[in-house]
Amino acid sequence: MKFNLADNAVTRALSKICDMVCLNIMWLVCCIPIVTIGASTTALYSVMLKMVKNEEGYIFRGFFKAFKENFKQSTIMWLLFAALWIVWWLDFNFTGALPGQLSFVFRVLFLLLGFILLSVMTYAFPLTARYINPIGATLKNALILTVAKLPYTFLMVVVIVAAVLGSFWNTTTFMFAVPLWLLIGGSLVAWINSWILRRVFLIFEKDEENK
pLDDT at 54: 80
Give the tens place of pLDDT for each residue, 114-147. 999 999 999 999 999 999 999 999 999 999 999 9
Coil vs helix vs strand at 56? coil
Q: Give mean pLDDT, residues 161-189.
A: 92
Q: Is 54 left (phi over 0), alpha (psi -120 to 50) or beta?
A: left
pLDDT at 189: 96
Domain range enclosing 28: 2-210
| pTM of full prediction above 0.85 | yes
Enumerate the H helices of the chain as residue ranges: 2-31, 37-51, 59-69, 71-95, 100-130, 135-148, 150-167, 171-180, 186-200, 202-210
What residues contact 197, with CB distance under 8 A and at least 6 apart? 45, 49, 126, 152, 156
Tell me if 63 sits within 8 A of 43, measured CB to CB: yes
Give the tens place of pLDDT for each residue, 39-78. 999 999 999 999 988 876 788 999 999 999 999 999 999 9
In this predicted model, which residue has the larger pLDDT, 16 or 66? Answer: 66
How far apart are alpha carbons 19 and 123 in whole angstroms?
23
pLDDT at 1: 45
In this predicted model, which residue has the larger pLDDT, 56 or 173? Answer: 173
For residue 44, give the nearest of 16, 18, 71, 64 by alpha carbon.
64
pLDDT at 207: 53
pLDDT at 4: 55
- Give how many domains the chain has, as a whole number: 1
Tell me if 141 sits within 8 A of 123, measured CB to CB: yes
How far apart are alpha carbons 27 and 184 in whole angstroms?
10
